[in-house]
Chains A and B, each alone.
Chain A
Amino acid sequence: MAPATQYELSQPPNDAVSSLVFAPDSPSRLLVSSWDKNVYLYDTTSSGGGGDENSTGEDQHGTLVRTFEHRAPVMDVCFGASDDEAFTAGMDWQVLRIDLNSGEQSVVSKHSAPVRRVVYSRQHSLLISASWDSTLHVHNPTNASLAPLTIPLPGKPHALAASPSKVIVAMTSRLVHIYDLATLSAALTSPSASDPPQPWQQRESSLKFLTRAVAAMPSDAGYATSSIEGRVAVEWFDASAESQARKYAFKCHRQAQQTASEDGATDVVYPVNALAFHPAYGTFASGGGDATVALWDAAAKRRMKVYQKFPDSVAALAFSADGKCLAIAVCPGFETGMEDYSGEGRTKILIRELGESEALPKGTAPKGKGK
């Protein structure tokens, strides 16, 4: 039995979750994309008692507002300019725009391979999609007259994240490109430039294994990446030597397993599937194949909390816009050598209401939210 401040949404997706995201304005509107070809829109608080700390009753299990069917598994979802607009990345090579009120779907972009990730930057009104055809597509959905931009990438993208001014693309071969959103926006409005915009920074991942997830700091200072080999790295955008010296990586989501043989314990290393920064505090959550979620203080390099094990691998994480809730997608993890995989019946969406100082770095006053 989970504590009551952590509850499970009723009517979870039928198969593994690829991504979940909270609406930028409403703290209870949650979109979930699933391998079962649907996107789910939930209201995480059924009684509309939104951010009220005292209304955490046990009967709240959220409501499924609507589902949006796709023709192929949905790999990613993000909100657009408003809480009523969403974009999805499909296995069917397409980026769709969905009107969450009417359910109307329209194709925004077509890639030549499945689309892995989509992000939308509100500040720049840019939609960026990353596909396994090793390209980024850049759109301005608010201005349909602008021809979309295609940026070739040196490798298949696996993770994508946008900070207020940058977008980080993590690819195969440990490549990381950081694009400046303003440059992309300028290149989109003046198509005269024949060459696609160059990355603002090109980096090699600090992690030696395949990058699994990227999350950008809302403070625009840097980002965190995670790999399939139980490790998380925190890096800063600032290319100066002092700032780069601050970057670090650490092991996590591992378990020492006692083996029967005399050579002692084996370290079982799980992939770190998900990263999410808290919208206000400099803290972030990581979710791994070991079915745990940990909260980290990026500045103090401290682990703040590890939650009790979930029933299955953690596939995706998202903080609500007000930072009061953490959505956790739990489904079986895909492991090496799996011939068959199905998240059916074991997929859950859990909402954890964070205590007042739960995600707050130590030594900070609980009221200091303007930080």
Chain B
Amino acid sequence: MGKKKRGHPDIEEILSRAWCYYCERDFEDLKLLISHQKAKHFKCDRCGRRLNTAGGLSVHMNQVHKESLTTVENALPNRQGLEVEIFGMEGIPEDVVQQHNQRIIQTFYQQQAERFAATGNPPPGERGKEGPAKKIKVESADELKKRLAEHRARTAAQKAAGGSATHTPTQGLPDGHSPAQNGSPGAFNSPFAPPGGQFPGYPQQPVPGYTPPPQYPQAYPPSSLPARPGSNLAAPPGLPARPGQHGWQGNASTIDELVSGAPQPEGDEIDALIRMAENRIKPPKKPDTPATAQPAAEEAAPDKKSKKEKDKNVKMIYEDELSPEERMAMMPRYAFAPQAVA
């Protein structure tokens, strides 16, 4: 974990970085920011002289080149104005600072979420609050039995419904994953909901196709991203019950290692549950986590879809098999009838 943390700066570190009002880029320190501003935004395009501020450049343009500066170069469309006097981090209007911080916080939590989702690691520091990561909670035999009865009822109902209803999610046992991952359902519980609920409007952006902003190129190696689809998302509803419950088997064997002397499971999750009840061992998953993890995963799924749509969200100003000129040539205004002249 410690190493990871070094790779991914925490939110305070990111928020304290120097950033440029004109292009929203952030920098290691103020010196770099100032030299960036001089090179990108306050450089005279006539003689290449680098001024300290936009105002300075304006005066320079006026006096040296007898020209008037109207906009700041290379700036975002709404930040081109000369009205704001910016030097480094000084002079940035308060609302812009707020906006910037919000954006940073949002991307931070988003990326953190993606990272946890991609790696399956629990969010550091969230463990205690959000669920039993590795701590084993003892469930009483009665509780277990009750749960077993519930499960049986559900399975029966599912069978009655032709096996088309959701199945495993109630059990909360994602397939093919290590107990460690199972132990961190919190990763999907959105423990990283933005603090104070300040940003409810921001859609959670899922991983595929997402390019991290240039300022964190190393922090989020894209190679880790494709792992996401395989992570413990809930199986899509409507599938027949998984035969054999492979995932559970995997877990069971691990548990069996913990529980010395326990007989090898037969591949039946119910048997495994019973065995655990007998041994007074709780499965590495709290009974209620699946219920909460499920909606979170469901939330993520449509988001992912919308992201894909967003990637395709392209509006072409001109889209045709014919060239604009051919279209224009068809208009009476420009049309030419050779027979009329000849």
With an 8 A cutoff between CB atoms, is B326 at the interface?
A: yes
Q: Shortest distance in angstroms between B106's beta carbon and chain A's nearest beta carbon?
A: 12
Q: Interface digits, B328-341 against A, CB 8 Å rule (1 contact, 0 not)?
A: 11010111101001
Cβ contact within 8 Å between A342 and B317:
no
How many Å lie between the Cα of A166 and that of B261 in the bound state? 83
Cβ contact within 8 Å between B321 and A334:
no
- Identify B319's interface contact among A4, A92, A336, A342, CB under 8 A: A336
Cβ contact within 8 Å between A355 and B316:
no
Q: Interface digits, A284-317 against B, CB 8 Å rule (1 contact, 0 not)?
A: 0000010000000000000001101000000000
Which of B69, B317, B331 counts the most chain A CB atoms within 10 A?
B317
Q: Which range contains the number of A residues in contact with the other chain?
A: 35 or more
With an 8 A cutoff between CB atoms, is A12 at the interface?
A: no
Q: Shortest distance in angstroms between B326's beta carbon and chain A's nearest beta carbon?
A: 7
Q: Which residues of B contact A16 (CB under 8 A)?
A: 328
With an 8 A cutoff between CB atoms, is B99 at the interface?
A: no
- Identify B313's interface contact among A5, A265, A306, CB under 8 A: A265
- Identify A269's interface contact among B71, B201, B315, B333, CB under 8 A: B315
Cβ contact within 8 Å between B309 and A263:
yes
Q: Which residues of B contact A306 (CB under 8 A)?
A: 74
Cβ contact within 8 Å between B66 and A4:
yes
Which of B48, B314, B333, B336 counts the most chain A CB atoms within 10 A?
B336
With an 8 A cutoff between CB atoms, is B46 at the interface?
A: yes
Cβ contact within 8 Å between B203 and A264:
yes
With an 8 A cutoff between CB atoms, is A69 at the interface?
A: no
Q: Which residues of B contact A262 (CB under 8 A)?
A: 201, 203, 306
Given known pairs A5-B46, A263-B310, A341-B331, the reply for A228 and B336 (CB within 8 Å) is: no
Cβ contact within 8 Å between B336 and A336:
no
With an 8 A cutoff between CB atoms, is A183 at the interface?
A: no
Q: Which residues of A contact B331 (CB under 8 A)?
A: 340-341
Q: Which range contains the number of B residues in contact with the other chain?
A: 35 or more
With an 8 A cutoff between CB atoms, is B68 at the interface?
A: yes
Cβ contact within 8 Å between A210 and B321:
yes
Given known pairs A5-B46, A263-B313, the reply for A334 and B327 (CB within 8 Å) is: yes
Given known pairs A18-B325, A271-B318, the reply for A72 and B336 (CB within 8 Å) is: yes
Q: Interface digits, A57-98 against B, CB 8 Å rule (1 contact, 0 not)?
A: 010000000000001110100000000000000111100000
With an 8 A cutoff between CB atoms, is B298 at the interface?
A: no
Cβ contact within 8 Å between A263 and B306:
yes
Q: State which residues 17-51 of A face B: CB under 8 Å.
A: 18, 35
Cβ contact within 8 Å between A210 and B323:
yes
Cβ contact within 8 Å between A335 and B317:
yes
Q: Which residues of A contact B203 (CB under 8 A)?
A: 262-264
Cβ contact within 8 Å between B317 and A3:
no
Q: Interface digits, A192-213 against B, CB 8 Å rule (1 contact, 0 not)?
A: 0000000000000000011010
Q: State which residues 331-346 of A face B: CB under 8 Å.
A: 333-336, 338, 340-342
Q: Which residues of A contact B338 (CB under 8 A)?
A: 92-93
With an 8 A cutoff between CB atoms, is A229 at the interface?
A: yes
How many Å lie between the Cα of A35 and that of B326 in the bound state? 12
Q: What are 22 A-B interface contacts by the 8 Å CB criterion?
A: A91-B329, A92-B336, A116-B325, A158-B325, A228-B323, A263-B306, A263-B313, A264-B203, A265-B310, A266-B314, A268-B315, A269-B315, A289-B317, A333-B318, A334-B328, A335-B317, A335-B318, A336-B318, A336-B319, A336-B320, A340-B333, A355-B47
Enumerate the 8 nearest inter-chain pairs by beta-carbon distance, A residue then B residue, closest first.
Answer: A334-B324, A72-B336, A91-B336, A267-B314, A269-B316, A271-B318, A4-B67, A266-B313
Q: Which A residues fall within an 8 A CB radius of B?
A: 1-5, 16, 18, 35, 58, 71-73, 75, 90-93, 114, 116, 132, 156, 158, 172, 209-210, 212, 228-230, 257, 262-271, 289, 305-306, 308, 333-336, 338, 340-342, 355, 357-358
